A and B are shown apart, each in its own frame.
Chain A
Amino acid sequence: MNEMKKISMIVNEKVYSLEVDIKESLLEVLRNRLHFTGVKQGCSVGECGACTVLINGTAINSCIFLAVWADGKRITTIEGVTKEGELSKVQQSFVDEGAVQCGFCTPGLVLTTTALVESGRKYTDEEIKREISGHLCRCTGYNKIFNAVKKVLND
Chain B
Amino acid sequence: MFDIVNIEKPETLDEALTMLSGNPNLKIIAGGTDVLIRMHNGSLEEAELLSLRSINGLDEISILENGTISIGAMATFAQIFRNDIINKYLPVLSEAAVSVGGPQIRNMATIGGNICNGAVSADSATTMLAYDAALKLISPAGTRIVQVRDFYAGPGKVNLLPGEILTSILISEDSYRKTSGCYIKYSNRKAMDLAILGVSAVCKTEGGKFSDVRIALGVAAPTPIRCSEAEAYARGRDITPETMKEIGKYAVKSAKARDSWRASKAYREHLIEILTVRALKEAVSRGGGVNIE
Contact = CB atoms under 8 A, between A and B. Distances in A.
A46 B105 contact: yes
Contacts, number: 85
A133 B190 contact: yes
Contact of A46 (B1, B7, B98, B104): B104
A48 to B, nearest CB: 9
Nearest to A131: B103
Contact of A69 (B3, B53, B103, B104): B53
A3 B105 contact: no
A10 interface: no
Interface string A27-51: 0100000000000000011110100
A24 B192 CA distance: 24
Contacts of A112: 103-104
A65 B32 contact: yes
A6 to B, nearest CB: 12
B107 to A, nearest CB: 5
A130 B102 CA distance: 8
Interface in B73-92: 78
Contacts of A59: 103-104, 107
Interface in B222-275: none
B32 A134 contact: no
A68 interface: yes
B32 A66 contact: yes
A23 interface: yes
Interface residues of B, number: 27
A5 B102 CA distance: 30
A133 B7 CA distance: 32
B286 interface: no
A52 interface: yes
Interface in B86-134: 98, 101-105, 107-108
A64 B192 contact: no
A24 B40 CA distance: 12
B6 A3 contact: yes
B51 interface: yes
B19 interface: no
B5 A46 contact: no
A135 B2 CA distance: 23
B9 A68 contact: yes
Nearest to B105: A46
Given A61-B104, A61-B108, A130 B98 contact: yes
A106 interface: no
A4 to B, nearest CB: 12
Interface residues of A, number: 31
A113 B108 CA distance: 17
A60 B108 contact: yes
Contacts of A97: none
B292 interface: no
Contacts of B107: 58-60
Contacts of A5: 7
B4 interface: yes
A1 B32 CA distance: 23
A45 B40 contact: yes
Contacts of A58: 78, 107
B152 to A, nearest CB: 25
A91 to B, nearest CB: 19
B108 A3 contact: no
A81 to B, nearest CB: 17
A65 B32 CA distance: 7
B33 A46 contact: yes
6 contacts: A46-B36, A59-B103, A61-B108, A66-B36, A68-B9, A134-B102
Interface of B: 1-7, 9, 32-33, 36-37, 40, 51, 53, 78, 98, 101-105, 107-108, 190-192
The 7 A-B residue pairs whose C-beta atoms are closest, nearest first, are A134-B102, A133-B191, A23-B1, A134-B104, A134-B103, A64-B36, A61-B104
Given A46-B104, A133-B191, 13 more contacts: A3-B5, A23-B3, A24-B2, A45-B40, A46-B105, A52-B104, A65-B108, A66-B2, A66-B32, A112-B103, A133-B102, A134-B102, A134-B103
